[in-house]
Amino acid sequence: MIGNQASTANRAEQLLLTPREAARTLSVCERTLYGLTKSGDLPCVRIGRAVRYSTNDLRAFIEQKKI
């Protein structure tokens, strides 16, 4: 049972990232990440007061920005 909970937690971590993790993933600072969010270029997920970023949204953003 405990192993199953750990597996579920790992999947949840892969789905949503904190702003720090998302910024690190995109190789930008958190301020730039917040700017992208505010401008509407990068969507975020709000759970209460917590802000999270979907890994799928990060991948889509990268694909959209390719030249």
Span 16-31, pLDDT tens digits:
999 999 999 999 999 9
Distance CA 67, CA 65 (A): 6
Q: Report yes or no on whether pTM surpasses 0.85.
A: no
Spatial contact of 44 and 56, defined as CB atoms under 8 Å apart: no
pLDDT of residue 2: 58
CA atoms within 13 A on the CB side of 45: 13
Span 7-64, pLDDT tens digits:
555 655 579 999 999 999 999 999 999 999 999 999 999 999 999 999 999 999 999 9
pLDDT of residue 14: 74
Spatial contact of 30 and 23, defined as CB atoms under 8 Å apart: yes
User: Tell me, which fold does domain 2-65 have in CATH?
Assistant: Multidrug-efflux Transporter Regulator; Chain: A; Domain 2 (1.10.1660)
Q: Quick count: other Cβ atoms within 10 Å of Cβ 33?
A: 22
